[in-house]
């Protein structure tokens, strides 16, 4: 979906899948509730509590947790990963995944140049061989998760148990089959084998969701934890904890089957303001969000000029710049969650603020996982900061890299943000 250029194909694909990311579906999902209980309370909090001298590398922790949550919602909790309990595997995965990114420019933005040089045997000048090998490893791993989800569907387990429910994969699978094999007999066909092409189409779509879903949320949570843990923001951390302790059952005394409802978490105004303000100041995707004016083609309909921009031209808008409009966001360089609240402390995204908020993009290409991101980030913040208070041990690596995606640069010793987490 992310890379489909043609508008009709893109919106048809988006319609197939968007209902599993609707707020109402997420809040009512037994699978996601199981996922939150198991990953946030069964894995993440114990990992924090057991950290040596209670010092944690925040970016690694958040990447592992967001990977596990997104993978579990796509492929099913039982078919998914457990990077949260295995930090060394999570750190390796993150390193392998990210180390390819500086080389993707040529493949994505200059495919013809890259192809030409590859045909001459000089592709290595642009992209070393190991990048291709690592990408293949990642694709292979994705296919394994797809095949595990497929087996759960064919065996009937996915339909019977929330822990096996492969929500996103299952939705996309049945829509693809319905789309390609027609409405008739779809119920029976849902349990039929996939064709080779369908298996690969599904794997490709799921890879997009996984890639789009984990790092963005992990980066946002790392910046949120950083802002939160700075001495100048100690009062905000205290106020948020007070707000979190109004939840019932309390996120401090969670036992199996007793986490607060996601709707109650979603309704907390300061929690909402803290997440939205982090997305504004530290947009995980600050880089250009591209759109094309309709291009002239030899066969298709003629292209069109839009507002004086010629046909077939790519334009971008960047959240980083839009979020620094001083008329809409006074003191734009400061992290001020209260700008999203009215004088009574209720959420106030009114007026221009919401219109100028571009962290999830806008219109037809807007992030399909926006509600999922808010659900998981708010759940993670609620679980951590009602149980721990955090202070900074080392934040030398907390500078955005310059790119479409802007994770922290990291310091020379490989650290991003080290936090001390004191149990309350
Ligand atoms: C803090 C978390 C997230 C941020 C900041 C974010 C941001 C974005 C942005 C800026 C876009 C491109 C919008 C555009 O070009 O207009 C996008 C697209 C997308 N995102 Fe997210 N995202 C987040 C989380 C997620 C999650 C959790 C998922 C799924 C599990 C997801 C799946 C997608 C997909 C599939 C697209 C392509 C949508 C399309 O082409 O229509 N994202 N996201």
Q: Is the distance from CB of 376 to CB of 66 less than 8 angstroms?
A: yes
Q: Where does the pLDDT of residue 188 fall: very low under 50, low under 70, confident under 90, or very high at 90 and above? A: very low
Instruction: Report helix angle 129-154 to 58-75, nearest 10.
Output: 40
Q: What is the mean pLDDT of residues 406-415?
A: 89
Q: Is 367 annotated as a binding residue?
A: yes
pLDDT over 90 (residue 190):
no
- Lining ligand 1 with CB less than 6 A are 1-2, 14, 70, 208-209, 212-213, 216-217, 220, 284-285, 289, 359-361, 365-369, 372-373
In angstroms, what is the span from residue 2 Cα to ligand 1's centroid? 8
Supply the DSSP symbol for 221.
H
C-alpha to C-alpha distances, 350 to 95, 142, 199, 233, nearest whole angstrom: 40, 41, 44, 25
| All structural domains of the chain with their residue ranges | 9-423
Question: Do the Cβ atoms of 348 and 188 come closer than 8 Å?
Answer: no
| DSSP per-residue letters across 110-167 | -HHHHHHHHHTT-GGGTS-HHHHHHHHHHHHHHHHHHHHHHHHHHTTHHHH-TTT--H
Residue 202, pLDDT above cutoff 90 = yes
pLDDT tier at 56, thresholds 50, 70, 90: very high
Alpha carbons 388 and 422: distance in angstroms, whole number: 5
The predicted pLDDT at position 254 comes to 64
Return phi, psi of residue 130, to 5°.
-65, -25
What is 9-423's CATH number, 3.10.350.10, 3.40.50.720, 3.90.580.10, 1.10.630.10? Answer: 1.10.630.10
> Is residue 318 exposed (0-12), middle (13-18) or buried (19+ Cβ within 10 Å)?
middle
Could you report the per-residue pLDDT of 331-383, keeping only the tens digit for each?
A: 999 999 999 999 898 988 777 899 999 999 999 999 999 999 999 999 999 99
The per-residue pLDDT for range 250-296, each reduced to its tens digit, is 777 666 567 889 999 999 999 999 999 999 999 999 999 988 888 87
Instruction: Taking the CA atoms of 383, 388, 389 and 395 in sequence, report the sign of the dihedral they define.
Output: negative
Q: What's the token pair of residue 243?
A: 């707000």
Closest CA to 346 of 242, 263, 272: 272
Residues forming a β-bridge with 420: 55, 391
DSSP 344-405: TS-B--TTHHHHT--TT--GGGS-TTHHHHHHHHHHHHHHHHTTEEEEEEE-TT-SB-SSSS
The pLDDT of residue 93: 85
Mean pLDDT, the chain, as a whole number? Answer: 91
State the distance from the centre of ligand 1 to the C-alpha of 116, rounded, in angstroms.
Answer: 32
Q: What is the mean pLDDT of residues 104-131?
A: 90
Encode pLDDT of 154-184 as tens digits.
999 999 999 999 999 999 999 998 887 775 5
Ligand 1 atom 16: residue of nearest CA: 361
Q: How far is the CA of 210 from the centre of ligand 1 (A)?
A: 10
Q: What pLDDT shows up at residue 191?
A: 61
- Which pairing describes strands 288-292 and 55-57: parallel, antiparallel, or unpaired? unpaired
Nearest CA to ligand 1 atom 1: 217
| Residue 311 near residue 305 (C-beta atoms within 8 A) | yes
Mean pLDDT of 101-119: 88
């Amino acid at each position: 979906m992310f890379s489909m250029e043609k508008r009709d194909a893109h919106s048809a694909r988006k319609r197939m899948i968007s209902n599993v990311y609707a707020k109402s579906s997420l809040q009512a999902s037994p699978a996601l509730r199981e996922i939150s209980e198991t990953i946030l309370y069964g894995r993440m909090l114990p990992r924090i509590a057991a950290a040596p001298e209670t010092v944690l590398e925040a970016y690694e922790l958040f990447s592992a947790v967001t990977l596990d949550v997104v993978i579990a919602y796509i492929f099913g909790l039982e078919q998914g990963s457990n990077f949260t309990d295995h930090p060394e595997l999570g750190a390796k995965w993150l390193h392998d995944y990210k180390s390819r990114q500086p080389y993707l420019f040529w493949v994505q933005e200059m495919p013809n140049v890259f192809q030409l040089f590859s045909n001459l045997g000089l592709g290595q000048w642009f992209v070393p061989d190991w990048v291709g090998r690592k990408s293949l490893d990642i694709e292979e791993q994705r296919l394994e998760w797809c095949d595990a989800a497929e087996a759960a569907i064919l065996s009937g387990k996915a339909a019977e148990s929330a822990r096996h429910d492969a929500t996103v994969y299952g939705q996309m699978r049945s829509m693809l089959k319905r789309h390609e094999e027609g409405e008739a007999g779809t119920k029976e066909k849902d349990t039929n084998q996939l064709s080779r092409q369908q298996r690969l189409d599904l794997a490709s779509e799921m890879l997009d969701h996984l890639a789009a879903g984990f790092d963005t949320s992990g980066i946002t949570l790392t910046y949120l934890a950083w802002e939160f843990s700075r001495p100048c923001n100690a009062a905000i951390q205290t106020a948020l904890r007070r707000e979190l302790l109004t939840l019932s059952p309390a996120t401090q005394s969670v036992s199996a089957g007793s986490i607060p409802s996601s709707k109650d978490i979603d309704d907390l105004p300061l929690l909402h303001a803290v997440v939205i303000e982090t997305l504004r100041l530290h947009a995980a995707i600050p880089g250009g969000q591209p759109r094309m004016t309709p291009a002239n083609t030899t066969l298709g309909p003629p292209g069109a000029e839009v507002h004086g921009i010629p046909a077939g031209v790519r334009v971008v808008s960047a959240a980083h710049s839009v979020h620094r409009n001083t008329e809409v966001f006074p003191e734009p360089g400061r992290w001020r969650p209260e700008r999203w609240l009215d004088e009574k402390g209720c959420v106030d995204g009114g007026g221009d603020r919401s219109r100028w908020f571009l962290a999830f993009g806008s219109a037809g290409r807007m992030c399909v996982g926006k509600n999922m991101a808010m659900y998981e980030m708010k759940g993670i913040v609620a679980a951590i900061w009602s149980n721990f208070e955090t202070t900074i041990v080392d934040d030398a690596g907390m500078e955005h890299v310059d790119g479409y995606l802007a994770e922290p640069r990291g310091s020379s010793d490989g650290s991003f943000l080290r936090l001390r987490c004191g149990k309350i």
